[in-house]
Amino acid sequence: MCTATFAYLVGRFWIKRKLLEGGLAWSLLAAFCSLHAGRSSRAAAAYMGTAALMIAASIVESSYRLAYHDELTSLPGRRAFNEAVLHLDHPFVVAAVDIDHFKSFNDTYGHDIGDHVLRMVAGKLAQVTGGGAAYRVGGEEFTVLFQGKGVHEVVPHLEILRTTIESSNFSVRGGAERRTEARGTDRRKKASARARRAPKKTAARTSRTNALTVTVSIGAAASKSENANWVNVVEEADKALYRAKAAGRNRVEAGLAGTGRTTRRVRSAAT
Q: What is the 3-state secondary structure (H, E, C) of 237-258?
A: HHHHHHHHHHCCCCEEEEEEEC
Predicted local confidence at residue 117, as pLDDT: 94
pLDDT by 10s per residue, the chain, length 271? 555 555 555 555 554 545 445 555 656 666 666 666 555 566 666 666 666 666 666 555 555 555 568 989 999 999 999 999 999 999 999 999 999 999 988 898 899 999 999 999 999 999 999 999 999 999 999 999 999 999 999 999 999 999 999 999 777 765 444 444 444 555 455 545 555 555 544 333 334 667 889 999 999 999 988 878 999 999 999 999 999 999 999 999 997 654 444 444 444 443 3
> By the 8 A CB rule, do 61 and 17 touch?
yes
Give the CA dihedral 98, 103, 106, 107, nearest 10 degrees.
Answer: -170
* Cα gap 240→155, rounded to integer Å: 12
96 Rama class: left (phi>0) / alpha (psi -120 to 50) / beta = beta
Instruction: Give the count of beta carbons closer than 10 Å to the beta carbon of residue 215.
Output: 17
Class of domain 78-173+211-268: alpha beta
Q: Tell me the pairing of strands 216-223 and 251-257.
A: parallel
List phi, psi (to 5°) of 156.
-60, -35
Going from N- to C-terminal start, the domains of the chain cover 2-68, 78-173+211-268
Judged by DSSP in three states, 108 sits in helix
Strand partners, 217: 98
Strand ranges, E, within the chain: 92-99, 133-138, 141-147, 170-173, 209-212, 216-223, 251-257, 265-268
Predicted local confidence at residue 169, as pLDDT: 78
* Cα gap 233→236, rounded to integer Å: 5
Instruction: Give the count of beta carbons closer than 10 Å to the beta carbon of residue 35.
Output: 10
> By the 8 A CB rule, do 121 and 166 touch?
no
* Cα gap 28→269, rounded to integer Å: 57
